Structure 1
Amino acid sequence: MAQNIVYESFDKMEALMKDVFIKVGVPEVDAAVCAEILIESDKRGIDSHGVGRFKPIYIDRINDGIQNPVTNFEVVKDGLTTAVVDGHDGMGQVIGKRSMQMALDKAKKYGMGMVVARNSTHYGIAGYYATMATKAGMIGITGTNARPSIAPTFGVENMLGTNPLTVGIPSDEDFPFVLDCATSVSQRGKIEHYDRIGKKMPEGWVIDQQGQSETDPATALEGLTKGSSALAPLGGLGDDTAGYKGYGYATVVEILSAALQQGNFLKALSGLDGSGKKIPYHLGHFFIAIDISAFVELDLFKKTTGDILRELRASKKMPGRDRIYTAGEKEYLAWLDRKGKGVPLNDSLKKTILKLKEEYKLDGYSFNF
């Protein structure tokens, strides 16, 4: 399906999102944080978590009364290297950035820091927080649970969230190693993207109650909400392609996102009560920072990391393939490609942006469409 893609500058789209956040009650400083993290996703080519999710995942939830625009960031328990915080259903990006900064500050003093958060909301791309650590010369690890999506191996009921386990490691290259991916074969944001562009999904992403693949994204999204569809774990279905590994990693993230901070988990994260009424999601996150200089000189570490990545990329290629990538490289290449063009907007996103402009009376904005 033709999408008539147009590009708008990153600065303009970031400013637009900030202004809409302010219109719905997010304080200006926090609105800037939320818009920055969302636009960072588009800069990295992660279209599933940027401008496309701005309205449905944040603005609509604030307007529905299930997410607080003003973030009450409460430190419940504070130790030398650890902390537990409660976000009180505020803005996930604000909670995430402050939590990772706490972990970094603790690691700077004591070598390592870990902060866990409860009662949070969707915090955008996990890679943003891992990259906060790489910029500080540290290793960053983060994860979050999410509304039920993944079926356990040999199951068909969506129980676990897409639960990314994300790691950022600095190197001597122009970009850090950043592994930021769901523990499912795919994730809701990508399915939403396929739905917006009118494209069928590959088989094996989503299954119905009989364990059969679904390829229509609209049907899959409806089924994921109702519980009649489920995502396959990373590795796929059953044992043959080791789907139990993705199931296991998703469970690790679920435990670390709930048990340490005594937050909600599994079906309690559905965002619906027993009568089907929308309620806050009460998500949990964890953030780990490791100060490399507590182990070895930073430049030596970065050189070794870079050597490992370069050797991997230089290894023998599969027939028909001329390139091997390492984690974080494709996002860096996306930035090089997009930095002079901006955010790609399809027809669906254009309509959404024009609707937001009209609804929130943002007359100062003009677009290329």
Structure 2
Amino acid sequence: MAQDIQYETFANLQKFMALGFEAVGVPTADAQTCAQVLIESDKRGIDSHGVGRFKPIYIDRIEAGIQNVITKVEVVRETKTTAVLDGGNGMGHVIGTQAMQMAIDKAKEYGMGMVAVRNSTHYGIAGYYPIMAAKNGMIGMTGTNARPSIAPTFGVENMLGTNPLTIGFPTDEAFPFMIDAATSITQRGKIEHYARIHKTMPYGWVIDENGEGVTDPDIALKGLVDGTCALAPLGGIGEELAGYKGYDYATVVEVLSAALQGGSFLHQLSGFDAHGKKQPYHLGHFFIAIDVNAFTELSAFEKTAGDILRALRASKKAKGQPRIYTGGEKEYLAFLERSETGVPLNPAVRDSLTAVRDKYAIDFKFAWE
């Protein structure tokens, strides 16, 4: 039987999430920022990091007292091209946008800017921040550590977070190039999505304590919390498919998200204290902005980047494959489609949204009602 899917517009979902964040105490401007970052994920067809996480990640953590609704960003250290910020365990989306904007401002003046952040929380879709840079004619990069999920190559203990290394830059096409991917084969958000739709995962995404693959998303999610399961690094289990590459890239992101800013790392990011009580995650991020105009004319860069991408798409295709894509293209096509249809919402996500509305008596009616 096909799953019951209903659709809602970008504008309505963004409006509701902003109202929901306000209802739990997030100031209006910050609530709008958080909703804007989240809806960007749904716009781009990345269902693992958008409205589906509104309640189970952000609202639930606020209610649990492990994420502050008032975001107070402190500048710990600053030079003309760099800065270290402390987010005070506030709203990660607000901290992230402020940090990337600071990097962009520094790059406008000095050609490059980098900002490192400690004591933050989940900042939503990582790709949002390089897009900010690309809109300003810059190359943007970001990375974040996260609660332990990835096992080292030849290991079975979840040690590293999914730790995306995310890069975007402008082109002469209708959309920027973007690579926004975890350094594991998959990430928790996608497993959560599989659990919501009751779908079996591919073998090799998750391993158990014996290094064997786990395909049940509910078992995987439970195991990732209690330490009996771990994500395989990008590349796969062991060395045969070069899983050590994903492992090492995850390590790079971990170091840049912790060592530069004096932040937490590895099991310190579990979300539990020594007594098993929930606590803030104390995440770290880094943001880099590089002004293309410091190297060459922006139009020349955009054309060369576009020529490279078009050549890749025009190259010889594998048998049976209708086309080749380049980074950010599928997300742009999803945006075009969803601009017409709206965001597809399964019953679990719809129930989570109505639960927040009803609990906080928010005056709002969804399209499917």
Q: TM-score, normalised to structure 2's length?
A: 0.99
* CA drift at 1:367: 3.1
* CA drift at 1:123: 0.2
Q: Distance in 1 between matches of 2:176 and 2:327?
A: 8
Superposed counterparts of 1:13-28, under 5 Å: 13-28=13-28
Contact 2:16 2:364 in 1 (8 A): no
| Equivalent residue, structure 2, for 1:245 | 245
Q: Distance in 1 between matches of 2:223 and 2:167?
A: 31
* CA drift at 1:9: 1.0
| Residue 345 (structure 1) aligned with residue 316 (structure 2) | no
SS in 2 for 1:90: coil
* CA drift at 1:107: 0.3
Unaligned stretches of 5+ residues in structure 2: none
| Equivalent residue, structure 1, for 2:95 | 95
Spell out, residue by residue over 1:8-57, the C-alpha distance to the aligned partner (whole angstroms, 9 max, x if none): 11111111110010011100000000000000100000000000001111
Aligned length: 369
Superposed counterparts of 1:1-369, under 5 Å: 2-369=2-369
* CA drift at 1:343: 1.3
Question: Partner amino acid for 1:103?
Answer: A
Spell out, residue by residue over 1:152-195, the C-alpha distance to the aligned partner (whole angstroms, 9 max, x if none): 00000000000000001110000110000000000000000000
Question: Partner amino acid for 1:13?
Answer: L
Spell out, residue by residue over 1:293-315, the C-alpha distance to the aligned partner (whole angstroms, 9 max, x if none): 00000000000000000000000
Q: Distance in 2 between matches of 1:325 and 1:89?
A: 38
Q: Distance in 1 between matches of 2:127 and 2:353?
A: 25
Q: Distance in 2 between matches of 1:353 and 1:83?
A: 37
* CA drift at 1:366: 3.6
Q: Distance in 1 between matches of 2:350 and 2:289?
A: 39
* CA drift at 1:274: 2.2
Spell out, residue by residue over 1:243-301, the C-alpha distance to the aligned partner (whole angstroms, 9 max, x if none): 00000000000000000001000000000112221100000000000000000000000
Unaligned stretches of 5+ residues in structure 1: none
Contact 2:8 2:366 in 1 (8 A): no
* CA drift at 1:365: 2.0
Question: Partner amino acid for 2:162?
Answer: T
Q: Distance in 2 between matches of 1:29 and 1:231?
A: 36
* CA drift at 1:2: 3.1
SS in 1 for 2:76: strand
CA RMSD of aligned residues (A): 0.7
Question: Partner amino acid for 1:368?
Answer: W
Question: Partner amino acid for 2:111?
Answer: G
* CA drift at 1:362: 1.5
Q: Distance in 2 between matches of 1:113 and 1:355?
A: 42
SS in 2 for 1:286: strand
* CA drift at 1:364: 3.2
SS in 1 for 2:167: strand
Q: TM-score, normalised to structure 1's length?
A: 0.99
Question: Partner amino acid for 2:22?
Answer: I
Question: Partner amino acid for 2:188?
Answer: R
Q: Distance in 2 between matches of 1:29 and 1:187?
A: 30
Q: Distance in 2 between matches of 1:111 and 1:284?
A: 24
* CA drift at 1:340: 1.3
SS in 1 for 2:341: coil
Q: Distance in 2 between matches of 1:215 and 1:149?
A: 16
